[in-house]
Every structure is written in C-alpha cells, then in structure tokens.
Amino acid sequence: MNGVSDLREQAYWDDEIDLRQLVETLLRHKWVIVGLVVAATAVAGIYSYFILPPRYEAVMTVALPAADGADGIGMSVAAYDAFAGSNRVLSAVLARSGLDLTPRQLSDRLQRSVNANERLLTVTASAQTAGEAHRLTLMWREAFEAEVRAYVREQLDEALDAALRELERAREALSRAEAALVAFDRETPLGLLSARLARLETELAAAETELQRLQNVTIPLESVRVQLLEDMLAAEPGLASTSAYVDGLTRPLADDPAGVAAPLHPAAELASARARLETNQQAAELLQRRIEDLHERIAALNHEQTLLEKERQRLQDALDSAAARLRGASGRVAELEARAQQLEHLTQVRIVMDPFMPESPVAPRKMLNMALAAFLGLFAGVGFSLFHEFWRRTE
C-alpha cells in the first residue's frame, strides 16, 4: 500500500508547475525576453514617430437652417444631415479647397453627428496638419450653406412656378364660374317665375275664398230659399194660380245678403231661386276645377323653381369655390415671394461652436502604441522561453 501511495504522490508532483524552475527558465532567457521587448518597442516607436502620418481633428457645430421643409421649402433634420455628406456638398468643398481627393475620400475625412432636438449638426474634419483640418471645417460650412441656399432657391422657383400656374388656372375657373352664373341668370329669370307663382297663388287664394263663400253662404241660403218656397207652395196649392201675392212678399228679405227682392209670384220666385241655385252650384264646380288646376300649376312651378334654385345655388357654390381657390393661390404666391425675399435668412448656417486650431494630433497615439508593442514583445519572449525549455527537456 505504501508503494502505491508513493507513486501517486510522485505523479502528482510531476504534474504540478515548479515555480522555481519557471523562474530559472525565464532568467536563463532574460536577454532574449529583454531583446524582444526592446525590439518591439523600438519598431513601434519608429513606426509611430517616423512612418505613420499625424492626424489632426477640428470640430465645428452649426445650427441647421430655418427652412425645415414643413411647407415643402427646406429639409428635415435627417435630410440636412444626409445633404451635408452628399456628393453635391463634397464636390463644392473640393472645388473650394483644391484638394486632390475624390468625394468618397473627402467623406472619410468629414464625420458628422446630428442633434435632432436642438437642430444642431457637428462636423469633425481630420487632416495631416492642424491648419488643414481647421480650414477644411470652414470650407465645408461655406459650401454647405451655399449649396443649401441653391437647393432651397430651386425649391422656391419650382414651388413659385407651380403656384403661378395654379393661380392662372384659378383665374380661369373663376371666369368660367362667373360666366356660367351670368348666363343662367340671363336665360332663367327666376324673378319672373317668382312673380308668376305669386300671381297664381293670389288667384288661388281668391278662388278658394269665393268657393268658400258659395259653399258656406250663397248655396246654403239659396237651398233654404228653394226649400221654403217649395214648402209654401206645397202647403197652399192655390198660390200657384194666384195672380197677385200679398204685399208683404214685395219687400226684400231683410236677412238676404244677396239683396234679392221677393217676387210677386211664388212660382216664379221658386223658378228663379232654383235657377240661381243651379248657377251657383255650377260656379262652385268650375271654381273647384279651377282651384285644382291652380294647385297643379303652382306645384309644377314650385318644382321648377326648386330645381332652378338648386342649379343656381350649385353655380353660386362653384363661383364661391373658384373665388376661394383664387384667394388661396394668390396667398401661396405671395407667401413664396416673401420667402424668396428672406432666402438668406432661411438658409443661414449659423456657427454655434467655432472650430478650434488643434494643438496636437489625435493620432497616432505614440506612447500607447509603444506600450502595446512592449507588452506583445514581453509576451512573445516569455512564450519563446517556455517553448524552448519544453523542447530541450523532451529531447
């Protein structure tokens, strides 16, 4: 049992890392490690100081133009940001600066960030010299403002041309609407139709009044008179052959609204009363037919008048709509002309933070590069030492 335990313990210690041997290994290869560290640091220093070109950055913050595109003039914040890095603006910067670059290469030197809430655009320009970086930001602002102004002017010109065409169409539409209304009033005299309708209504009222008088007064009285005379003759048959009637019947009936005098002979009076009754009944029938005819004619005229009034109202509405369209077009033209007068103000790119002249380059970061190279050299030296020791022991 003790022999087995000793073997296990020996295997355990063989598997463990001997720190003393590790340190001795590193010390034996110290000059290799130091040499790799120094060599890596030297190479990084030479590359950072003498080979890598310096890179300076200048930062400028500008306020975006007031033309925000709400009415089709200007752009949104996102559109301004995209426009700032467009080939149109970059080509204008190259034309001003004389740099021998392509728009794509210049775009790599100009980095942008936008603050939509504050409507601010920040541009960072990078170059090999501080002066060039500073000048690049200034030239970008000049080019950006000039191209924004030119773009907004194009928008204004297009919008003004469209507004002027709309104004001309609105004037033509108003002229047509006015002509249509005048022609309607000339060809369709609603005043005469209304007068005719009023005359028929007056005639209808008079006919209805006369019919009511006949039906409620005259015909009932004549009917009563006929009935009385018939009853009188039926009660005294001798009166039918009497040559003279009593003197009291020669007086007009006191309550007779027609003022008809009592005849001397009852039979003749009865015949006359029957004739008057028949005449009044025929007159009532004629009035009834006349009233019905007047109702039909008035209804037809009312229908015709309603249709004509609707048509005239439609023409009037068209005229009002054309007038409103003309007012809107005139207002749009006036608004665009006023905006054209304010073009410089609407497209001004105001500097919020001036670009400062950078005092030192932001790249290359020489000390950091050398420190990273030294660490990599140390790592490579330690690795080489351990690998060499392992190789030596396995031979």
Residue 323: pLDDT over 70: yes
CA dihedral angle for residue 251, residue 256, residue 260, residue 262, rounded to 10 degrees: -40
The arithmetic mean of pLDDT across residues 258-281, rounded, is 75
Annotated domain spans of the chain: 24-52, 56-166+347-353
The confidence score (pLDDT) of residue 395 equals 61
In this prediction, residue 317 has a pLDDT band, given cuts at 50, 70 and 90, of very high
pLDDT, mean over the chain: 84
In this prediction, residue 203 has a pLDDT band, given cuts at 50, 70 and 90, of very high
Contact 259, 252 (CB under 8 A): yes
Contact 271, 264 (CB under 8 A): no
- Residue reference for tokens 């003759």: 233
- Between 77-86, 250-259, 285-294, the lowest mean confidence (pLDDT) is in 250-259
Residue 263: pLDDT over 60: no
CB atoms within 10 A of CB 53: 10
In this prediction, residue 251 has a pLDDT band, given cuts at 50, 70 and 90, of very low
List, for residues 138-165, the tens digit of each pLDDT value.
999 999 999 999 999 999 999 999 999 9
The confidence score (pLDDT) of residue 15 equals 45
The residues facing 61 across adjacent strands are 122, 353
Cis peptide bond prior to 364, omega within 30° of 0: yes
